[in-house]
Chains A and B, each alone.
Chain A
Amino acid sequence: MQPDDCSDSDFKLENTLASNLLSSPKFPFTPTSKRFRHFHISTSLHSKISSFEEAVGHYDSRYSMKPFRVIKRAICAWLFVIAISTPTLTHAAEATNASLTLRDVLIQATASFQSGQYSQAIQFFEQLETTFGNEPQMKDPAIRRIILPAWGYSELATENYSGAIEQFEEYLEEFPEPGNVHSFVLISLAQSEHWNGNLTKAAQHYGEFIQTYPRLPETPLAALNQVDLLFQSQKAEEAYVLSERLFQSRAPGPLRAQSRLRALQVRLEDGERDQAAELLLSTEWSQYELPNLMEMAFAALQIGDSFMTEEDYHSALRSYRLVPPYSALLDYQRQQLQRVSSILGYRQRNPTSTMDSVWLAYYATLVSRLETQLEALESMDDYTPGFLLRYGQAFLGDGRSREARILFRNLALDDTLDSAICQQAHYRWILAEFALKRWDRTLEVAIDFQDRYPDSALAPDALYLVAQAHQEQQKYRYAIKVFDELIERFPDHKLAPRWLFTRGFNLAMLEQYEQSRADFELFARTYPGHPLTTQGSLWHALTHHFEGNYEEALAELQPLAESSRDHFLYPEIRYRIATAHYAIQDYDTARPEIEKFLADFPDHSRSPEAVVLRGDILMGQGELILASAAFAEVTPEADGLFPYAIFQRGKIFKALEMYDLMIDHFTDYLDREDLEIRPRMSEALYWLGWAYLQKGNIDAALLRFDQAFAEYGDDPAATEILPMISSLETLRSELLRNGDQALPDHSLFAAGNFSAWLDDQILLALESNRLTWYSRLKHFQANRARAIGQIELADTILQEIDEKVPLERLDPQVIGQIGIIYSAAGYQYADAYFDYILANYPDHPARAEAWFGKAEILIEEEEWEDADDLLRKFEQQMPLHPLSPQVNILRGRILTNLGFYDDAEKSFEEVLTRKDARGIPHARAIAGLAEMNEQRGNPKRAIPYWQRIYTLYRAYPEPVAEAYFRSAVLFYEIGDPTAAIRSLDEMFKDERLLNSPFAAKAIALRRELQEEMDTLPAPVDTPPSTPVEIQEEPAS
């Protein structure tokens, strides 16, 4: 084949040659990997790289040189063809190199090139140029088309980039037509310019390549290189556009992802966090098999941290989600290195096109990069625990405390982690539990933290959380204990002022107002100017308010308001001033105060309450019409205040005897369609019926009652059903008593008596399976029995209800009553009844019975604090409940057992001030005082209390018997057996007392005392002990 044959059809010939060479069984491969080796050597000498960023920073972006075997093979073949077809030249040029002919030089150039001896090949190419340059063969385009790329490549291989550039440019100038060699030369020129430091020119040549060969497989690679070079040449805007174009193209996923990652990294380096984050978060990285995941992961970490700093936790989480744990990243990186190395090896072994060298360079670079990164990754510390702490914090900040709890718990309990990490995680675990308002768990975890890390710098913070958890659980005494410890152990802690303040608050919640004020006073003295100063003063004033000392409260609130005009609590202080005036019935002052409050702070959170208060004040002033108008301003948005206002208006109309208005008012309320929740509807029906009765419209009244029974009688959540039944009883008896009018045509009047009507209704309710209604009617029966002293019958009726009606069909009030019967009988299962009420009717008045009953059970179990928590709630929320004297007594017993004697005394004394608690409750309160003094170690003070019982409450044998016995024991203890015997003998004289459980004990004691007395010498006129005298009221 002659060279001329192919001069006009390069493509065809080159392809033919290439395919021939490709099919060659043993393709000579002589790698010239000097640059590649150099890279390896240089990286191996790298000092330990402590972080990935550093590794990326040291990345050498120049491609490693690899032989472009196919094109080389083609060139070798051409050179050989040229050489053997060149006749022996006898030319003047031979004078300068007499020993070599053109053909010889060509053959030697071919051999050197083929064997990878590029320096030598260059010499021969230069010799061809200098010695035979003027020969016509050397000017033949067909020969230059071959020699120039080979020479250029040889220069490139020996890192003489300017030489390579010269040859490649010359080629492109002489042969600008596109073709295989052209594409190879163009991309090699781009590489040469790149490595020669001419980044702009390199980018330009890559651009030309992309434009000339838009569909070659190498085009996206060229585009990636171009993007990279443009970024390096500070042409970021152009680079971003091209990067985005590449990302949106159909190029292979890894190349697209790398292009986007590069843009992201540059954005990040340039401080354009938001744009970087946009790129990070809008890319589904997992789709693309990103080879350098590590770079993306660290960019995500950096961006996540940056969002954390800005408290944008949601975005931080999204970024952190892209960060794999260290071990996973390490595995991934190793797998990627193995995968890319395999691809590189495969391509080296299996050349497929003239452009192989481009791919080889790409993969070789990638392998080097991955190796460097892996080395850096392996030498760095595991970032995962620290990262996970931040990740958990992001969950916490984003309001996802559940997730934070899971994560922190997982870290805290991982004993393979560093103790400092576990400690941090444990502390944040407490925070997460706290945020979830799981107080028991918060305490548990916080106490565990204390046990594990007693000397931790976080101990005070953890203890503070413990105290807060106690406070949230309304376990104020526990909270106070923790605050005591905090204040004592860490007096100089930055939170010490807050602890003191909060202890004062907790004391106020315990109604220990004096101690509470002492804390607020100490706070004001110790930390003047503290941000909580105004709060402290307000609470100090409020403790007076809570005690009912409104004058003192006002004396503090008024100057506080003057000095706190700019404080956010100023409206609150103003509101409190108005309520204090209202409480002392100074309505004339209260009214302008509250009206000014409403005018000044119409949008304050207290406004709905203030509107209601204004109504109450007006009622107090007797301005009932104005009050009604004030209550009419209260809207359903005011939640619980709205029904209150409705019923206050009803009360006003009732007081004014404006029954028509009352009827209209309650009818309107019942007919409202804009209420999502319709509270106290049955009660409204009751009052409506009542108003009709006052108007003498018996039929309408009965109609309304019937309506109420039909709509709400069988609804367990409905209230005021029993008063309605009671009204019917009253109505019936009144109408029958008057006897001067025709009786309405109603079953109530058809029955022989009210009891018969009740029995009929009970039967009907059972027949129609209206079990709730049935239980209410029976409950009514039980109450009637109780009212006439038939307690056992009442209890039996309630137990009958319990047998017939499932729990979920019972009125919570009935459930409570039944529960209390069982609880008094000592049945533990009573607890289930109370739990049912609290779980299903947490706001129902019957919760009072539930708290009471549960407290009784807890007291039996000596769970004093838990019982006290329930009873305190009872006292705060239901101060007027019929069970409240019993609650006071129980609380007194609890406080005695807990050693809070002063509080216990107050609780018992409270009962004694109540006239409605005369009789047994008073006797029990006095017994409580006696026991309290016994436990306090003051038997002399206890005895008179017992004496008081057996003196004043003789109508109640059981407490009297106990009082005799207990006083006898105490007399004996204080060394007065004679008085003891006297007490017992007096006891034995009352036969009723001999059936008491104390009788047997008393007899045993008497015998013991007698035996003791018999062994003693005769007494010498010893005066009896004189316990402290206590003035008593007579028993009712």
Chain B
Amino acid sequence: MKRLTCTLLATLALASPGRAVEPISPDLSKATTRALLENLSGLPPPIGGPIPEKEHLELRLPLTLTIQGGQEFKGTLSELHEGRIYLRLVQEGGEVILSFPVEEIEQIFFPGGSIVHETIEKVNAGELSEALPYLESIIGARYAFFPILAPENLSFYRALPLTALAVDNPAQAIAYIKAIRPYLTLPEDQRELDDIELLSYHRLELTEETRERALRWIDGTPERFPTSALGFYVLASLQFEAGEYDEALDSALHPIVFSGPIHQPYLKHCYSLAIVSAYILKDPIELERLTTEARERGIEWQPQMVFAAADKGLEEFIITDAEGNPLPLIPDESTEDSPLLEKRGSSNHPAPESDNTL
């Protein structure tokens, strides 16, 4: 504790992360949503509802801070300011606030490891709406520490916007992305946040923002054989919706051209869009080639809502499976749900390096 300073700051208020006052509702108008998203800072109000009180309190128990030399301190965060952590410790006769230079902290041990672990399991099992309140509670307790935590230990939180998307609140997902993006600096985290953000804007039908992000997504994909076709799919889908079928076909074809034996996420979406665009453009050769190729490559047909936007008739368009059974053009109850986000590479969400040490 050679440079550790001990300060009594009884009046120091606990620095809580800035939260917007009103929760983001999926029922808001586009204009309001747009304005809301532009002005958001910090964590948005949670939307997933409460978790059991016991777990809530467990997550908010004092954390353990280990400094160089191995000495441990148990307390709650008072403030993080100018490179120092101010920890509130309960001592006989009252409270004491100790401050520690961030660079001298070796480890922070957060309580509630088992809750985190179970939440990860929920996420990996696809129980996203169930995971959402836990994730919100966890991040609520730990967000203030994000600036000093290693990005490797924050990857786990990229599940949070995804869970918001799962409860059909893309605006909330975007708000979460805004809140966590500055700290999740690993390239794979940034890529996934880009993906979720793009999907969220697309779901919100904020066309201009979506197009801009889809183009940025494509520009930010330097590799010739992209590991995901999401940006191309979203752009093609916007173009299709706008009646720009030629452009839609070109955008959808890009990842099709640059796809190998391992099918990247959203490739099947691109195939479906390309097939329907070729049909509308009355390009029988392209239509036949794409349909045959999709079958040969085992790429399943992907019904899409955007096909309903075709201003030229698709009434006579029939696509069938290998047995000749007609396939739906627009998703219906019989259509299997696609995963919320088709992920590149590993399908599981990363866990913190240790269950409870971040």
The interface of chain A, by Cβ under 8 A from chain B, is 281, 284-286, 314, 317-318, 321-325, 328, 388, 395, 398-400, 402-403, 406-407, 410, 414
Contacts and interface: CB of A to CB of B under 8 A. Distances in A.
Contacts of A414: 224
Given A318-B296, A403-B253, A406-B253, A323 B260 contact: yes
A325 B253 contact: no
A322 B297 CA distance: 10
A402 B225 contact: no
Interface string B248-275: 0110011011111111000000000000
Nearest to A410: B224
B289 A286 contact: no
B298 A395 contact: no
Contact of B260 (A318, A328, A399, A403): A328
Nearest to B296: A318
Contacts of A399: 285, 289
Nearest to B292: A314
Contacts of A388: 224
Contact of A324 (B249, B260, B285, B293): B260
B261 A400 contact: no
Interface of B: 224-225, 249-250, 253-254, 256-263, 285-286, 289, 292-293, 296-298
B261 A285 contact: yes
Given A325-B224, A410-B224, A402 B260 contact: no
Contacts of B296: 281, 318
8 contacts: A286-B261, A317-B293, A323-B260, A328-B260, A400-B286, A402-B249, A406-B254, A414-B224
Contacts of A317: 293
Pairs of residues from A and B, 3 with the lowest C-beta to C-beta distance, nearest first: A399-B285, A403-B257, A286-B261
Which residue among A286, A322, A323 has the maximum number of chain B CB atoms within 10 Å of its CB?
A286
A321 B260 contact: yes
A325 B289 CA distance: 23
A402 B250 contact: yes
B345 to A, nearest CB: 11
A862 to B, nearest CB: 30
A328 B256 contact: no
B225 A406 contact: no
Contact of B261 (A322, A395, A398, A402): A322
B327 to A, nearest CB: 21
B332 to A, nearest CB: 29
A350 to B, nearest CB: 25
A284 B225 CA distance: 20
B264 to A, nearest CB: 11
Given A318-B296, A400-B286, A402-B286, A395 B257 contact: yes
Which residue among B224, B254, B298 has the maximum number of chain A CB atoms within 10 Å of its CB?
B224
A286 B262 contact: yes
A402 B263 CA distance: 20
A284 B289 contact: no
A482 B261 CA distance: 44
Contact of A398 (B253, B257, B289): B289
Interface of A is mostly: helix
Nearest to A414: B224
B322 to A, nearest CB: 14
Contacts of B253: 402-403, 406
B261 A321 contact: yes
A392 to B, nearest CB: 8
Nearest to A329: B260
B285 A400 contact: yes
A400 B289 CA distance: 8
Which residue among B249, B260, B297 has the maximum number of chain A CB atoms within 10 Å of its CB?
B260
A414 B222 CA distance: 11
Which residue among B257, B263, B289, B292 has the maximum number of chain A CB atoms within 10 Å of its CB?
B257
B261 A325 contact: no
A74 to B, nearest CB: 41
A406 B250 contact: yes
A284 B292 CA distance: 16
A939 to B, nearest CB: 52
A296 to B, nearest CB: 9
Contacts of A328: 225, 260
Contacts of B292: 314
A403 B257 CA distance: 6
Contacts of B225: 324-325, 328
B250 A284 contact: no
A403 B225 CA distance: 14
A404 to B, nearest CB: 9
Contacts of A314: 289, 292
A403 B289 CA distance: 11
B289 A324 contact: no
A321 B255 CA distance: 12
A281 B295 CA distance: 13
A731 B263 CA distance: 73
Which residue among B254, B261, B298 has the maximum number of chain A CB atoms within 10 Å of its CB?
B261
A323 B260 CA distance: 7
A909 B225 CA distance: 62
Contacts of B297: 321
B346 to A, nearest CB: 13
Contacts of A284: 298
Nearest to B259: A321
Contacts of A286: 261-263
A870 to B, nearest CB: 23
Contacts of A395: 257
A406 B260 contact: no
Contacts of A323: 260
Contacts of A403: 253, 256-257
A380 to B, nearest CB: 19
Given A399-B285, A400-B285, A406 B261 contact: no
A769 B263 CA distance: 55
Given A399-B285, A402-B286, 5 more contacts: A284-B298, A322-B261, A324-B260, A398-B289, A400-B286
Contacts of A322: 260-261
Nearest to B274: A402
Contacts of B259: 321
A402 B274 CA distance: 11
A984 to B, nearest CB: 59
Contacts of B249: 402
A332 B68 CA distance: 41
A314 B297 CA distance: 13
A324 B261 contact: yes
Contacts of A398: 289
Contacts of A285: 261
A400 B293 CA distance: 12
Nearest to A399: B285
Contacts of B224: 325, 388, 410, 414
Nearest to A317: B293
Which residue among B250, B293, B297, B298 has the maximum number of chain A CB atoms within 10 Å of its CB?
B293
Nearest to B227: A328
Nearest to B225: A325
A905 to B, nearest CB: 43
A329 to B, nearest CB: 10
B96 to A, nearest CB: 50
A399 B262 CA distance: 24
A318 B289 CA distance: 12
A395 B257 CA distance: 9
A317 B290 CA distance: 12
Nearest to A293: B261
A318 B259 CA distance: 11
Given A402-B249, A402-B250, A407 B260 contact: no
A398 B250 CA distance: 17
A406 B262 contact: no
B285 A407 contact: no
B257 A407 contact: yes
A284 B297 CA distance: 9
B59 to A, nearest CB: 36
Nearest to A300: B261
A410 B218 CA distance: 13
Nearest to B254: A406
